[in-house]
Structure 1
Amino acid sequence: MMVRSLLLASVFLTASVSVCQATPGNEQKTARIFTTLQSDPVRLALFMRQFPKGADLHNHLVGAVYAESYLKWAAQDGLCLSVNQGKILPHGCTATLGKGELPATALANNSGAENRMIDALSMRDFVPTATDRSGHDHFFATFSGFVAAAEKHMGDSLAEALDRAAQDHVTYVELMISPGLGGMIAAGSKHPLQDENYADAIKALTPELPQLVAAARHETDQMEQQAQQVMQCGSAHAHPGCAVTVRYLYQTLRTLPPEAVFAQLYAGYDVAHTDPRFVGVNIVAPEDDMISMRDYDKHMRMFQALNAVYPDVKLSLHAGELTPGLVPPEGLTHHIRSAVEIAGARRVGHGIDILWENDASSLLTEMANKKIMVEINLTSNDVILNIKGKNHPFSLYRRAGVPVALSTDDEGVSRGNLTQEYIRAATTWPLTYQDIKQLSRNGLEYAFIPGESLWQKGAMTMLCKKPEAKICQNFLSHNEKARLQMALEKNFSEFENNVVKNDLFSH
């Protein structure tokens, strides 16, 4: 994937010349068209589908895959299904009676069972029942339902995610993945933490670190090789996903004993420090889980300790994915602040409980001043937390000057895409076309892509006032972030040129 990005750099440099060739009035015309479409949901969806989206920065790879794909791979691997439990099982079976189990291959002739499995492995048609009471519980249960099919198909999953991103006109994705995680957890279990003596924990784990990191890199190599084969990258039949730039956040689990969490974080930091494909670290799993809540402050201090060892590693942390009633009131008071002030997160995922943080106004001011971006996941927050419409703090963050960008979270489980997130935003709040362009630009501006930004204090850098000039071409050649941003500007120009010529939009 890194090689592909380098090859595409020359394409971006050439493409940047055409940015200035767009008709100046097309942006204004497109803005007027967008305003009329906000009351026309069908045409708005068509518009938004084609709209260039800078990045998807909050995207779990295993949750990005649709249930149908997992069921297909289960059939290919000869796995069994427990229809009653809604799970793909890690072993094969022959047809059975009375247990609700059957081979995954049998779904081809059993549409009823297939639909039950799809509903169990996603949020499709979710209706609460006595045993499946909430969207929150159903959502997180899906992962244990399809994990048996995911393990051997990470490359297939990557290919699916990138092809869908290309189809959705997304330039760049930062995917959360956890290669080599089992070995890291096992290493931690051998070295119990003594209180919070992280210095000694590092000494104890350091001899095992090279092997743990090598295993993570090897799994990533295999995943990328498989994905490139599936997408036929480099051939005349290359899939559109081959042109999407991808980087990774190392994803660690917080619902484990402290020594296992620290071992994951230590190895994850080293992966991000040594492998340029990994641009940061995150921590995941339900934030309201008993262990997550109990150890939250301890986890933040783990990040703080590791930041001193790896000052170059960037953090995007899940924080504030909580609501009143889900946890006691005291559980809502400081998670976002601690992620920012103690762990040093540069981005926050979700941030839903900002209203209930201690001195929320000062925290919002701090986040605005520090440019701590919030990854907004509208569909996910709806189906998991029942936070939707204008009850979402999206507009509060924007009013406070905190940068935000839209993302999908787990588009396969939620049955959506980034277009859906833009449509939700455009139909909920009085956003202008310039507003949605800024949301798209923010995705790349706050991505952990190496290099300087094309934008300085809200304006394009003086070096690229003339994109075709040698000084701009030299700047772009040394800055991957700026290259992707310039490519996005070209995409905006082409999009606006097409919109104003399209009778479906202009009449």
Structure 2
Amino acid sequence: MVFIGFMKYLTYTVCVFLFAFFSQSGAADTHSKMEAWFKNFKTTATPQQMYNFVRALPKGGDLHHHLTGSMYSEWWYELASNPASNGGYEYFTRVELLPCRGYNSDEFSPNSQFFYFKTIQKSNYETLSACEKSTYKSLSELSPKEKNGFLSSIRLDEPHEDRKEFFERHWQRLGDMTRNPIIRSKLLLRKMQSYKQQNVSYLETISNPSGFVHPDGSYIAPESVLTLFKDMLNSPEAKATGVTVRFQISILRFSGFAEKALVSAFEFIDNNRDYYVAINFVGREDDGRGHPLRFLKTLRELRLHFPKINLSIHGGESVEPNKHVKDTLLIGATRIGHGLNSIMDPDTLLLLRNGKYLIETNLISNYKLKYITDFKKHPFPEYLRVGIPVALSTDDNGMWDSTFSDEFYVAIKEYNLSWQELTEMITNSIAFSYLDDTSKEEHMTQLDKSLKKFMKARLANKKLTDVTPERSFICEYDNQLCES
């Protein structure tokens, strides 16, 4: 099959793939048997057996993924505390709160970041007053108690923590660590290795090429950062994972320079389309300065000069009804991140049902940020079962201390997914990706083979290896799994 245009042939692609998957000689019968097998399996499987199943399941791609937010706190600490492995950077984190009034102190500023475990690199530490320096400690010299505090500070692991803590503290605590391209590159490799273990073949992640600095604080050009990432992605270690990676550039929607950043993003992506595939507007939607239509004029001007650049935009990540998802479609998005409140807007639901749009569903994210208080209140099954294309993804799973497999575990347990629904979502994650046509065809073909192999093994009742849950979220969700 030749792909000649995402927007024109996406629906056709999905249909043809599913037809081929289920209608080749013997495949329809195999699918029918697998549907019956899975229905029985769901009612008889122990938590451990179900977790083994979702770990081994070929998952396609993760399409809604913030690179820095997806990394586990232990990974950050290991790299940031060791200059020998992070490019010679040394980091200091705040372990005391004192009323210093030095020139560089921030506790009295309108945008105060006066809280524990804000992390800065040595070049910024050296600019602080003596009093301010006394409130910081090198990451490599933290006591066990301080280290545990640091690790906890970038996870949502306390009952009182919600989206306020997440948006106003977690990212700021990561601080200068996110500006080290070597740390970022090594973290990405670890994520790819983790995804190989979870049978994920594609990762489309948000990671801007700008804002990086050397140990002395001097600026690193975006092109140099991309070269570093390319070298890593083409290394034997990365190739061994079998995971393909593409990047998006994020625009902080409510910032005063968002339009200028949008222009720069178009220019950079146009010159680096082999690795950068889309733009994404991020940031809290309840900040009115970032409403989608703010960018319509700039986008229309840019489209006069640049060939198509994909938009995969956060929309509807809110518990209040609004027109953000509809407006996000208007400005050109083909994928909607979250789409939670679309359930409240009948006109937008009709658009999503009858258009070529995907909702990137992040169940655990929406739960941890308390946009929903119960998974049963999530609109995901309604979207899935009225024909709106959906795909599961992870968002900032390092901060939820969860995995991609956990998303599937929750979805199956909460919504009684059928085998048809599972394979439909998994297929969507490649069909709606922003891979080029040739790469997309290759991934679809490989996914077809992987799913058929998986079905054959399950129908033959081949035992899956017991897998110990890696992260804390899934044990909180189903304590029987971690007791078994």
Contact 1:43 1:504 in 2 (8 A): no
- Return the letter of the residue paired with 1:112: K
Per mean C-alpha deviation after superposition, the further-off stretch among 150-159 and 376-385 is: 150-159
Structure 2 residue corresponding to 1:112, chosen from 132, 135, 145: 145
| Shift of residue 405, structure 1, vs aligned partner | 0.5
Q: Which deviates more, 55-64 or 309-318?
A: 309-318
2:449 counterpart residue number: 490
1:331-390 deviation per Cα after TM superposition (whole angstroms, max 9, x unaligned): x3210000002x11111101111133xxx2222121222211110010111111331412
Cα distance in 2 for partners of 1:240, 1:24 equals 34
Distance 1:490 1:296 in 2: 40
Contact kept in structure 1, 2:118 and 2:173, CA below 8 Å? yes
Q: Which residue of 1 aligns with 2:281?
A: 283
Counterpart CA distance in 2 for 1:82 and 1:29 is 58
Distance in 2 of aligned mates of 1:385 and 1:492: 34
Question: 2:4: which partner in 1?
Answer: none
Q: Which amino acid aligns with 1:137?
A: K
Post-superposition shift, 1:403? 0.6
Residue number among 162, 166, 172 corresponding to 1:135 in the alignment: 162
1:89 maps to which of 120, 130, 140: 120
Partner of 1:265: 262
Amino acid in structure 1 at the alignment position of 2:353: A
Look up the match of 1:186: none
Q: Deviations over 1:436-492 (max 9, x none)?
A: 0111000001001111xxxxxxxxxxxxxxxxxxxxxxxxxxx22111000001111
What corresponds to 2:478 in structure 1? none
Q: How many residues align?
A: 404
What residue in structure 1 maps to residue 293 of structure 2?
297
Corresponding residue of 1:440: 426
Instruction: Decide which structure has greater helix share.
Output: 1
User: How much has 1:504 moved relative to structure 2?
Assistant: 4.3
Instruction: Give a deviation string over 1:20-72, Cα, whole Å, max 9, x none.
Output: 79876554443333223434322111100000011111111111111111111
**Is residue 30 from structure 1 mapped to residue 34 from structure 2 by the alignment?**
yes
> What SS does the aligned partner of 1:38 have?
helix
| Partner of residue 249, structure 2 | 250
Alpha carbons 1:87, 1:117 under 8 Å: kept: no
The farther-off stretch of 281-290 and 427-436 is 281-290
In the alignment, the residues of structure 2 paired with residue 405 and residue 151 of structure 1 have an alpha-carbon distance, to the nearest angstrom, of: 30
**Root-mean-square deviation (Å):** 3.1
Q: 2:207 & 2:366 partners in 1: Cα distance?
A: 21
Paired position in structure 2 for 1:371: 356
Distance 1:399 1:29, change over 3 A: closer
> Shift in Å at residue 76 of structure 1?
1.1
- 241 and 163 in structure 1: CA distance in 2 versus 1, 3 angstrom threshold: farther
Q: 1:227 to 1:68 in 2, by over 3 A?
A: farther
Q: CA deviation at 1:166?
A: 1.4
Give the equivalent residue in structure 2 for 1:103.
138
Distance (Å, rounded) in 1 between the aligned partners of 2:244 and 2:25: 25
Q: Is the Cα–Cα contact under 8 Å of residues 164 and 241 in structure 1 kept in the other structure? A: no
Change (3 A) 1:239 1:266: closer
Q: Identify unmatched segments of 5+ residues in structure 1.
A: 1-15, 129-133, 184-211, 325-331, 452-478
1:320 touches 1:351 (CA, 8 Å); kept in 2? yes
Q: Map 1:22-101 to 2 at 5 A.
A: 26-39=30-43, 40-77=46-83, 78-83=90-95, 85-91=116-122, 101=136
Instruction: Determine what percentage of the aligned residue pairs are the same residue.
Output: 23
Q: Secondary structure at the match of 1:59?
A: coil
Q: Distance in 2 between matches of 1:38 and 1:217?
A: 49
Aligned to 1:171: 201
Partners of 1:122 and 1:414 within 8 A in 2: yes
- d(CA) in 2 for partners of 1:394, 1:137: 24
1:74-109 per-residue CA deviation (whole Å, 9 max, x = no partner) reads: 211332222351222222889x999664321124xx
Q: Secondary structure at the match of 1:315?
A: strand
2:322 corresponds to which of 310, 333, 347: 333
- 302, 323, 332: which one pairs with 2:319? 323
The answer to whether the Cα contact below 8 Å between 2:343 and 2:349 also exists between their aligned partners in 1 is no
Q: CA deviation at 1:241?
A: 5.6
Aligned partner of 2:389 among 400, 403, 406: 403
The answer to whether the Cα contact below 8 Å between 1:314 and 1:345 also exists between their aligned partners in 2 is yes
> In structure 2, how many angstroms separate the alpha carbons of the residues matched to 1:272 and 1:247?
11
Q: 1:126 aligns with which of 140, 155, 158?
A: 158
Q: Which amino acid aligns with 1:498?
A: A
Distance in structure 1 (CA, Å) of the matches to 2:425 and 2:80: 38
Distance 2:153 2:296 in 1: 34
Superposed displacement of residue 304, structure 1: 3.6
Three-state SS of the structure 1 residue aligned to 2:64 is: strand
Identify if the C-alpha distance between structure 1 residues 283 and 368 changes in structure 2 by more than 3 Å, giving closer, same or farther: same
Contact 2:232 2:238 in 1 (8 A): no
Q: How far is 1:497 from its partner?
A: 2.2
Name the CA shift for 1:286/1:504 in 2 (closer, same or farther; >3 Å): same
Change (3 A) 1:79 1:98: closer
Query: How far apart are the structure 2 equivalents of 1:301 and 1:403?
Result: 28
Which residue of 190, 197, 201 maps to 1:160? 190
Q: How does 1:380-399 map to 2 (within 5 A)?
A: 380-387=365-372, 388-399=374-385
Match runs of 1:214-253 below 5 Å: 215-226=221-232, 228=234, 233-234=235-236, 238=237, 242-253=241-252
| Secondary structure of 1:499's aligned partner | helix
Is contact 1:380-1:408 (8 Å) kept?
Answer: yes
Distance 1:334 1:48 in 2: 35
Unaligned runs of 5+ in 2: 1-19, 84-89, 97-115, 214-218, 465-484
1:312 and 1:101, CA in 2 relative to 1: closer, same or farther beyond 3 A?
A: same
Q: Structure 1 residue 267: deviation in Å?
A: 1.5
Distance 1:86 1:34 in 2: 46
Q: What is the rounded CA distance, in whole Å, between the counterparts of 2:395 and 2:37 in structure 1?
A: 29
The answer to whether the 8 A contact 2:179-2:211 is kept is: no
**Corresponding residue number in structure 2 for 1:192:** none
The question of 1:348 aligning with 2:336 is answered: yes
3-state secondary structure, aligned to 1:375: strand
SS at 2:310 equivalent: coil
- C-alpha separation in 1, matches of 2:239 and 2:378: 34
Separation in structure 2 between the aligned mates of residue 348 and residue 482 of structure 1, nearest angstrom: 23
State the partner residue of 1:430.
416
